[in-house]
Structure formats: structure tokens, C-alpha cells
Amino acid sequence: MDAGDRAIRIIRTVVDTLRPGFAVKLWTGERLGPLTGPTLVLHDPAIVWRLLRRPNLDTLVELWVSKAVDIEDGTLFDIFERRPEGKLRAKLKTLPKMGLLRDLPVILFSGNPTRKAAGLAARDPLVSGSSAEAIRHHYDISNAFYRLFLDERMVYSCGYFTDFSNGIDQAQKDKLEHICRKLRLKPGERLLDIGCGWGAMLIYAAKHYGVTGHGVSLSEQQTGLARERIRAEGLDDRITIEIKSYTELRGSFDKICSIGMFEHLGIANHATYFSSVRRLLKPDGIYLHHAITRRAKSGMRRTLRKGAEYKALIRYIFPGAEVDTIGMTLGSLETHNFLAYDTENLREHYARTCRLWAERLRTRFDEAIAEVGEARARLWLLYLTGCSIGFQRGSMQVFQTVAVRRGKGFSILPPTRADLYR
């Protein structure tokens, strides 16, 4: 019996033991499990060898990206929803070890070649804080690519679903409106958007609330398109965008927002960031902080430990990124003389947002492949699906926090929040 036959026998044993709710189709055409429904397709007989040699999440990512593993008659969401019941680690312990051991040595020493997701991993992804190069790695892929799955305004952050049956265009419009209300924007005020992306927040606030907007970004492609969109709206005289760091900004602003940018800073740079925001915000101003967080655990070391999913995300998608907990965020605001007033968890909203993004990308997958190549298109589909699942399970969260500079007397915020939900 050669290595390929032994690999098939191992896969059969694993499927029989785990009994997933989806089928598994081998490179030989053999189908294991249900006769219909979502099917995990294994194209490469070297899959078992690769997992034995390097049994980690990076290997699974590379198997998916290289198309050694694929899905028929379903999606990644379908496979997740039909995963084996119970804890996977406990079920793996029930595998017949003696039977597997007779096959493993032959496979391990079969000398199968290994393939990696070449060119997709970032250089120095585990450093604290995203450099301009790291920002380009994620955001300067292609504006046309992002247009395939984002909403009509190209908002690349959590939507706000006043009804979970709403589409992504409505959810992003409602999110921008929600933020404008939380900031209590008024005509003539100066609004700063730190990490302004394709300019959607600035354009919406200028059009609907009469503010003068300024944005900063480190992405050249995003800034180029944002400026085109501003010109098309006839808002050149009211909105400006610069490619620079927030640390280089001078002047003062009535209102400041940061929407999905904070995660790129790195925890080591948080003090500099909050000091800069306080310096730029007028004494009676309002700051809105919108950022992904992780779940706090017992002890700071456990909380800040980077698990396998976290490491894969920053290696392939967000190099240099780090997320804190909501407790750390609130503590940092207080340390830098802010008072936090409202904190809203939008976890379910981001789970829905990422799912809609993934579904839209899958619908236009051929166009995505033509734009960025099949490997990167598959990587982004995996990333968006994984993020949706992470927010759904609560391992990832996203909060909007409204804060003001600490001072004597009452703040400018109204006594209730009834106006937000009128």
C-alpha cells in the first residue's frame, strides 16, 4: 500500500470518527458522508502529509488558498455550520491511534512537496503597529477589488442594521447617520476623520450636516479615489484629505472620529494616539472611537496572547495590527483625561456585515480573480468568512465609544440619548 492509499485510509477514519454534517470528496472521486449538500473537496493527495508535517492554521490557510481544498454545493459558512458537534479536540482524542500509527510513518517519509501561499504573507507581520508598507499590503490591493463587495459608498467598517433584513447599502448609510448623531454634528463645525478610507464619512457629514471635514490616511489608492469622490460631489472647498500620520496634524477640531483605524496602531502606540486626539480636540468637543476589541481573560498575559487565528489574520491580512479590550480602551481614555459617556457593542452588526461582504465577493468571484488573482481572492473570502464567524461567536467584538475631554462642569452632551433613536 503506497502513501496515497494510506492517506485515504486516514481520511476515512477521521470522517467516520468526527461525522461532520458535510460530505468529503477525495481526489479519487470517492465521496464520504452525506450524499447531497455542502462538500469539502480534497484535490491534493499530499494534504495529509502537509498537515502531519505542519499541523497548524497556516497550513490550512495555504491548503485553501492554493485550492488543494475547495467546496462544492455550498460555502465556507455551510461547512462551519455543519461542523462536528461537540469540542473538536475531545473528538480527536477518540481516533483509533494504533490504526493511524501504522500509516503515519509511510506518509511522513513519502517526501511529498509542500506548497505555500507565496507572496501573500506580509513581511514582519508580528511587529506592534502597522507601517505605511503594512497599510499598503491591505488597502492598496485594488480599489476595483474592494468595490466588488463593499457598499455603494465604499465603507470598510461595521454596518449598523436598524433591521437585520436590510442590505449593506442601507446598513452603511444608517451607520454614518448613527455616528453623525452621536457626534452631534452642527453646520460649520470642523470634523477630523482619522483613517478616513475612501472618504464616505466626510462626504456624508458634509452633505447632510454642513460640516467642514479633514481626513488623514496612509493609503495612496484610497486617498486618490476619495479625492475623486469628493470632487464628484462638489465638496472640494469643504473636505480635504492628506496622506500623513495623525501625529503630524496641527490645529483643533470640534469633533473627531476614528472608525476602524485604531486596530492598526499597535498597543505600544496607544498613549501617543490618545494624547494626539486630546491635543487636537477642542475643550468642548466630542470624540467617537470605533474599534474592534478582543475578549478580556484572567491576567494581562493571557489577554494579550496571540492565538493561532489572531496570528494568521495579521500574517496574511492586517500586518502589525493589535486589538485591545474594551476595558483597556476605556482605561486609556480616562488616563488621557477623557470622560467616556456611551459605549455600544455592535458585535452582531459586524457579523452580519462581514457575512454580506463574503456573499457579495463570492457572487462576483470571477471578477475578483481577474482583478487580484485567484489566490488573493480566495484568501479574502476566507478572511471575511472567518471574521463573520468570529464576531458571531463573540471571540471578536466591536465597540463605539463616545468621549469628551475632562473638564469642570457639565459636558455638552444632552441628558438622555433619545435623539439618537428618533
CA distance linking residue 329 with residue 262, whole number of Å: 10
Beta bridge partners of 404: 339
Count of alpha carbons within 13 Å of 325, Cβ hemisphere only? 15
Scored b (16 or more CB within 10 A) or e, 85-124 reads eeeeeeeeeeeeeeeeeebbeebeebebeeeebeebbbee
Q: Which one from 158, 180, 257, 387 is the annotated catalytic residue?
A: 387
Burial class (CB in 10 A: 0-12, 13-18, 19+), 270: buried
The alpha carbon dihedral of 35, 76, 150, 201 has a sign of positive
> How far, CA to CA in Å, does 343 sit from each of 175, 335, 368, 418?
15, 17, 36, 15
Query: Residues 351, 354, 358, CA angle at the centre, nearest 5°?
Result: 135
Instruction: Give the angle 266-268-271 at the CA atoms, nearest 5°.
Output: 105
Cα 53 from Cα 189, distance rounded (Å): 59
Written as nine digits, the cell of 188 is 460649520
Is 354 a known active-site residue? no
Please give the Cα distance from 4 to 12 (Å, whole number). 12
CA angle 363, 366, 372 (to 5 degrees): 115
Dist CA 316 CA 195 (whole Å): 21
Distance CA 332, CA 237 (A): 35
For 19-163, list the strands marked E by DSSP: 23-25, 31-32, 39-42, 69-72
Question: Given the C-alpha cell 476623520, which residue does it identify?
Answer: 193
- Residues taking part in catalysis: 387
